[in-house]
Chain A
Amino acid sequence: MTATTAATRPSSGITLSGVRALLLVFKARAVVVLVALLILFSWLAPAFLTANNFQILTKHVAIAAILAIGMTFVVLTGGIDLSVGSVAGLAGMLVGYLLTQGIEIGGTRHFLPATFCVLIAIAISLLVGLLNGWLVSKAGVAPFIATLGTLYVARGTALLISNGKTFPNLAGEAARGNTGFPSLGQTFFLGLPMPVWIMLVLFAAAVLISRKTPLGRHIYAVGGNERAARLAGIRVPLVKLFTYVFAALCAALVGLIIASQLEAAHPATGDSFELNAIAAVVLGGTSLMGGRGSVTGSLLGACVIGVLSDGLVMLGVSQFWQMVIKGAVIILAVAIDQLQTSIQARFLPLLLRANNGAGE
């Protein structure tokens, strides 16, 4: 008797449509926050909504978003990749070395075309991803530890390449036949900066993979219940391997874009980028436990973080306060996520009954 009254009480005060609306707001919270931030900043800082500022903003967002997209798959399988910032730094240093120092074969230096340099840098970065994937799926090292290790290894290697110095003048020389690298980060296509296009292509690919391919299904399955996924015949190690390699690809692209924009490669590039990427993924509603979340959410999360930091800069908020505010936003986002989960669990019977209609 007491049990039944307790179970029906929550539904008596709140209507079904009310619950649904509330859940919808929670689910779309990244959009809600993004819109609110855009309105707030354009009101407080008149220069915020100018085309010029928007171009800067999209570039910042693109870099954060590319990393977040790569991180999403890893997190969806229940893993984490802490090495992406270092991989970005490593990729930049590799391309810097190849463009300015060339390859020594038999005592003479050979310079490769910029495209080759980029491809080699990406290939070596992917090896780090492969190593991460192998450590996690085959050697059984916890993702946090495995990628913490490769974080140091990749950063150390980046520093070793130049002994800690910066490679300047990545524009290349016509005499060496290796010009063209700066166009990766600096050219425009159809009015949008190249990095934004790279981001959009990766985003489209990631959405396609996650929604439409068996691989994407398997990523969610592994994160939802790894044991069950294995028993269903899903090749869990391969799925995990892919996610880490994809994250490394995204990281390498970020490193190359930054080096191209600056026309210089600095070994500390990408420091703590992994934390920004994780923050964007979490803001976008992906659960760190795996199995729940989306690529679109991560993109929105990256937008929120990008808009927030740019807007705060324009308002002249001190860098120290920016960090405090960013931290608070991340905590708030996860707290809301928990709230959503508990509300959903509480009203689940009600929602299911409504879905089944007159089937009761």
Chain B
Amino acid sequence: MTSSAVILEARAITRRYPGTIALDRVDFRVYRNQVNVLIGENGAGKSTLTRILAGVEQPDEGYLLLEGAEITLRSPRDATHHGIAIVHQELSVLPNLDLADNIFAGRELAQAGLLVCRSLEEQRASEALQHLRSPMDVRTLAGHLSLGCRQIVELARALEQRARVLILDEPTSALSNAEAESLFAVIAELKRAGVTIIYISHRLNELLHLGDHFTVLRSGRVVGEGQRSEVDRCWIVERMSGRDIPKADDAQALPVENSTLLKVANLTIGSASNSEAQTVPVRDVSFSLRKGEILGIYGLLGAGRTELLRAIAGVGAIRSGSIQLKGKDLCVKSVASAVKAGIYLVPEDRQRDALVPELSVRENIALARGGGFLLNQRKESKSARQLIKDLNIRVSDLELPVTALSGGNQQKVIIARCLMCSPALLLLDEPTRGVDVGAKTEIYTILQRLASQGIGIIFTSSEIEEIQALADRALVLCQGRINATLERRELTDEALFVAASPVVAAASMARTGSVSL
């Protein structure tokens, strides 16, 4: 490779967040007119790196070279100026504006720099969409579009910016198969037009289909780089999961009691939001859970993991199907009814959905505890202190604000909150997201201990290692359906990957013949 093949280069980029190092002296080369794939687990630093490349965040150390010259990106505006555009993972369309307005937001076409030339905007927006083979009425409000169409609008925006480097952060995570396929066609189109692409995704099939150059990140470091010819599925998985997460000792796995705790039959869940009234995140799902069993739910983003857990916990609209707890029919109309039955959810986003940052550690732990007329602070403190000891939460004073704790300890506070109410069933959505490796192991141990006490545990994860380390059995969800139920000994990387990947997409790739498995 000659040096001119590299269009954009990040050198020795370090980015620290309070408590963690998101990127640790990362060197990242982006090759001209190729699809540069960036892979890594959640929290590996992919998003941080792309945000730095797009000017949304600034590195603490290190610098960027564009065409060999150093550049500083202080804002997304700067990045756009240099021809670097990004389509964010969380789509950022302006719902109250129409497509033409969205495509030109921030860079309106103005006559004499003063008045917006709407007709020209409409024409060029329309052309850009046409170019992406997705003609749409440019006067439609963006808020009325499906997620796939919103994505196309963002791509059209990047195209209109004449972007030289286009960053796609998990572009298919919210898309249906058909939408994803048309996206791939669009990417091929962009590549033909001379655009360099940085592509981030969890879906290996997709990456192997599209990618030209691969970079693997793990825990904020680059752990592998290779051209398409040198890369295969094994190569990626090896490097992605190279971290020595202590695998749970098989000998430790306790004999599972045989009595059924939870039985879910033909559960279909409707979407809670109004705008996507058509989507059904979970369709006709049936499974059961024995007492003391740890059930893992694996799947890609958007597979319906979170929706399934939330429905059992009484959040979200159950369209049909039944849930039985301990042989009794359960009607989980609300969180209160689920809690009454002994079902507790540890949500995915603890900052948003679980913690009350203004309250102390004690108050956060005791939050869900109902009953009685007056709070008994002494009793509360006593049980909170016991739980802190049991769960090994490292905090010097119960009355400290909960925000003073690290991510792992905050997660344990949430688990403690559930335990304070003696649960029958514990649901954990991504229990170790944003938790460091040490605390991860501790959380695994805690969950195993709880299971041995007869509590049923269901958790979701997008990390294969976590499923392998913790689950007695795993359900693999794909597009709202159970694609496979795997026993502990069947939980191989390959089996989980295959079951989680949408079948149609895989088939179509096989058709194009560009995937070598």
Is there an interface contact between B277 and A7, defined as CB atoms closer than 8 Å? yes
Query: If the complex has contacts A229-B94, A292-B96, are A2 and B115 also in contact, measured as CB distance less than 8 A?
Result: no
What distance in Å separates the Cβ of B166 from its nearest Cβ neighbour in chain A? Answer: 14
B428-478 interface (Cβ within 8 A of A): none
What does the 1/0 interface line of B177-194 toward A look like (CB < 8 Å)? 000000000000000000
* A232-B144 in contact (CB<8A): no
The size bracket of the interface on B is: 35 or more
Q: Is the CB of B105 within 8 A of A348?
A: no
Closest to B54 in A: A231
Q: Which of A3, A233, A234, A291 contacts B96 (CB 8 A)?
A: A291
A349 B116 Cβ-Cβ under 8 A: no
Of B72-80, B233-241, B366-374, B498-506, the one contacting chain A is B72-80
Q: Judging by beta carbons under 8 Å apart, are B277 and A224 in contact?
A: no
Whether B116 contacts A213 by the Cβ 8 Å rule is yes
- Is B285 an interface residue when CB atoms closer than 8 A count as contact? no
Tell me which residues across on chain A come within 8 A of B277, comparing CB atoms. 7, 349
A73 within 8 A of B: no
Determine chain A's interface SS by DSSP, over half rule. helix
Binds A, one of B106-114, B211-219, B347-355, B395-403: B106-114
Provide the bound-state CA to CA distance between A220 and B320, in Å: 40
Beta-carbon nearest neighbor of B135 in chain A? A359
Determine if B274 is an interface residue (Cβ-Cβ < 8 Å). Answer: yes
Name the contact of A231 in the complex, choosing from B88, B101, B110 (C-beta under 8 A). Answer: B88
Q: Does B484 contact A (CB under 8 A)?
A: no
> With an 8 A cutoff between CB atoms, is A110 at the interface?
no
User: When the two chains form their complex, are residues B140 and A223 in contact, meaning their CB atoms are under 8 A apart?
Assistant: no
- Across the two chains, which residue of chain A brings its CB closest to B51? A231
List B contacts of A352 (CB < 8 A).
140, 144
Q: Are B320 and A231 in contact, with the CB atoms below 8 A?
A: no
Report chain A residues within 8 Å CB of B270: 3
Q: Which of B56, B97, B140 contacts A224 (CB 8 A)?
A: B97
A146 interfacial contact with B, CB 8 Å = no
Cα distance, A213 to B109, chains bound together (Å):
9
Asked if A214 CB lies within 8 Å of chain B CBs, one says yes
Q: Are A217 and B116 in contact (CB under 8 A)?
A: yes
Chain A nearest CB: distance from B500 CB in Å?
A: 26
- Give bound CA distance, A202 to B86, whole Å: 38
**A2 → chain B closest CB, angstroms:** 7
Contact A217 B95 (CB under 8 A): no
Known contacts A231-B56, A231-B76, A355-B137, A348 near B94 by CB under 8 Å = no
Residues B76 and A233 in contact, CB atoms below 8 Å apart: yes
Contact A2 B319 (CB under 8 A): yes
Is the CB–CB distance between B106 and A229 below 8 Å?
A: yes
How does the 8 Å CB contact mask read for A219-232 relative to B, with 1 for contact and 0 for none?
Answer: 01101110111111
A213, chain B: closest CB distance, angstroms: 6
| Closest-CB distance, A140 to chain B (whole angstroms) | 17
- A216 to B114 Cα, complex, angstroms: 11
Is B93 in contact with chain A by the CB < 8 A criterion? yes
Is residue B492 within 8 Å, beta carbon to beta carbon, of the partner chain?
no
- B260-278: which residues lie under 8 A (CB-CB) from chain A? 270, 274-275, 277-278
B270 → chain A closest CB, angstroms: 7
The residue in chain B whose Cβ has the minimal distance to the Cβ of A216 is B116
Is the Cβ of B92 less than 8 Å from the Cβ of A213? no
Tell whether A176 is near chain B: CB-to-CB under 8 Å: no
- Indicate whether A221 sits within 8 Å of B116 (C-beta atoms), given known contacts A3-B270, A213-B110, A231-B56: no
Interface string of A348-360 (1 = CB under 8 A from B): 1100100110000
Contacts of A3 in B (CB 8 A): 270, 280, 319-320
Q: Identify whether the interface residues of B are mostly helix, strand, loop, or mixed.
A: loop
Q: Report yes or no: A228 in contact with B116, Cβ–Cβ below 8 A.
A: no
Q: Output the nearest chain B residue to A349 by Cβ-Cβ distance.
A: B277
| B96 close to A212 (CB less than 8 A) | no
Q: Does A345 contact B (CB under 8 A)?
A: yes
Among A3, A213, A224, A229, max chain B CB count under 10 A is at A224
In the complex the two chains form, is A229's CB within 8 Å of B105's CB?
A: yes
Task: Tell me which residues from 103 to 150 in chain B have a Cβ below 8 Å from any Cβ of chain A.
Answer: 104-108, 110, 114-116, 118, 137, 140, 144
**Does B105 contact A230, Cβ atoms closer than 8 Å?**
no
On chain A, the residues within 8 Å of B274 by CB distance are 345
Contact A234 B116 (CB under 8 A): no
Q: State which residues 290-310 of A face B: CB under 8 Å.
A: 291-292
Please report the C-alpha to C-alpha distance between residue A340 and residue B485 in the assembled complex, in whole angstroms. 47
The residue of chain B having its C-beta at the shortest distance from the C-beta of A234 within the complex is B106
Interface positions of A from 263 to 306, Cβ below 8 Å from B: 291-292
- Knowing A218-B106, A349-B277 are in contact, say whether A212-B116 is a contact too (CB < 8 A): yes
Q: Could you tell me if B108 and A217 are in contact, using CB atoms closer than 8 angstroms?
A: yes
> Closest chain A residue to B86 by CB distance?
A231
Given contacts A3-B319, A355-B137, contact A214 B95 (CB under 8 A): no
Contacts of A228 in B (CB 8 A): 92-94, 105
Q: Shortest distance in angstroms between A95's beta carbon and chain B's nearest beta carbon?
A: 32
A224 pairs with B96, CB closer than 8 A: yes
A217 touches B137 (CB 8 A): no
Decide: A233 and B80 in contact? CB cutoff 8 A.
yes
Q: Which residues of B contact A138 (CB under 8 A)?
A: none
| Contact status B115-A233, CB under 8 Å | no
Verify if A235 is at the interface (C-beta below 8 Å from B): yes
What 1/0 mask marks residues of chain B from 11 to 49 whose CB sits below 8 Å from any chain A CB? Answer: 000000000000000000000000000000000000000
**Complex: A285 Cα to B140 Cα, angstroms:** 20
B495 nearest CB across to chain A (Å)? 33
**1/0 per residue B222-261: CB within 8 Å of A?**
0000000000000000000000000000000000000000
Task: List the B residue with the shortest CB-CB distance to A291.
Answer: B96
Give the docked Cα–Cα distance between A216 and B97 (Å): 12
Q: Which of A212, A224, A227, A235 contacts B115 (CB 8 A)?
A: A212
Contact partners of A214 in chain B: CB under 8 A: 108, 110, 116
Contacts of B108 in A (CB 8 A): 213-214, 217
| 9 residue pairs A–B, Cβ–Cβ below 8 Å | A3-B270, A208-B115, A220-B101, A224-B94, A225-B93, A229-B105, A230-B76, A232-B92, A355-B137
The chain B residues found within 8 Å of chain A, CB to CB, are 56, 75-77, 80, 86, 88, 92-97, 101, 104-108, 110, 114-116, 118, 137, 140, 144, 157, 270, 274-275, 277-278, 280, 319-320
A-B contact sample (10 more), CB < 8 A, given A220-B101, A233-B107: A3-B280, A213-B110, A214-B108, A214-B116, A217-B108, A217-B116, A224-B94, A224-B96, A232-B106, A355-B140
3 smallest A-B Cβ distances: which pairs?
A228-B92, A224-B96, A214-B108
